[in-house]
Amino acid sequence: MDALVAPSPVAVRAAKRTTETIPVVMLLAYSDPVEFGFVASFARPGGNITGVVLAAEPSMAGKRLELLKEAVPGATTVAVLTTGEASSRTQVQWAEKVAPSLGVKLVILEVRDGDYDRAFRKIVAERADALFIVASVILHSDYARIIRLAAKYRLPTVSDWREHVEAGGLIAYGGSVAGFTRRAASYIDRIFKGANPAALPVERATIFELAINLKMAKILGLTISSSLLARADHVIE
């Protein structure tokens, strides 16, 4: 291989164990590559790994919960779909900090071995009014399945990627998968033109968008306030 693209901490770690010479372009969300030991610093990675990091703080989980409550003001119980990943646990902690001020009770559901049916049975049993989906590589990979189940049980959702809203979610606040992954292509291009990964600074992606699916809101019988719509970067009608 002339280069590798690693779109998660697990993938970067595997690539790092496998080679110290083949250039690796990482795509990370809500993870610190310096803390994980993937690079020496953002400015000078120092090895064969470089790439792009979605530089959002885990505290954005609290902002997403606020947006969900604004879209569904009558929600008092919100299910949180999460995983065992460290970044997922941190997001849950931030959501828990914000929930009391919103008058919301959180029901935390950690998905294991892709058992979403069990998770949604619990959501129904707890009579949750809405669904908060933490930012996670695992949950993003399974998003089509998650959104189908959410639609089946008429649950408004909030998540991180704009593409989730385009697939049928209600609200997303975060980045764009397409825009994020295009940055990987630019790194590969520079490496193929002779750039050394050790000297290619890790890029911090800091543009975040609010996307709202009005079509889904109508199906769910929700009226999105004009103030929330005015802040949206993308509206699906």
Domains annotated on the chain, with CATH:
4-56+177-205 (3.40.50.2300), 60-174+209-236 (3.40.50.2300)
Mean pLDDT estimate for the chain: 92
Give percent above pLDDT 90 in the chain: 75
Rounded CA gap, 127 and 107, in Å? 10
Alpha helices in the chain, H assignment, sequence order: 9-18, 60-71, 86-102, 116-125, 137-141, 143-152, 162-166, 177-192, 214-220, 226-230
**pLDDT band per the 50, 70, 90 thresholds, residue 29:** confident
Cβ atoms within 10 Å, residue 126: 14
pLDDT the model gives residue 141: 87
* Amino acid letter for position 30: Y
Q: Which of 28-37, 53-62, 215-224 has the highest mean pLDDT?
A: 215-224
Give long-range contacts, CB 8 A cutoff, 24+ apart: 91-96: 91/30, 91/58, 91/60, 91/61, 91/134, 91/135, 92/61, 92/134, 93/58, 94/58, 94/59, 94/60, 94/61, 94/62, 95/61, 95/62, 95/64, 95/65, 95/132
| pLDDT one-digit tens code per residue, 108-124 | 999 988 899 999 999 99
The reported pTM is 0.81
Give me the mean pLDDT over the 27-45 stretch: 89
Tokens 């090895």 identify what position? Answer: 47
Asked whether the beta carbons of 170 and 118 are under 8 A apart, the reply is no
Give me the mean pLDDT over the 150-159 stretch: 96
Positive or negative, the CA dihedral 196, 197, 202, 207 is: positive
Indicate if the pLDDT at residue 18 is higher than 70: yes
Give percent above pLDDT 70 in the chain: 98
The token pair at 220 is 């769910």
Indicate if the pLDDT at residue 58 is higher than 70: no
Indicate if the pLDDT at residue 51 is higher than 90: yes
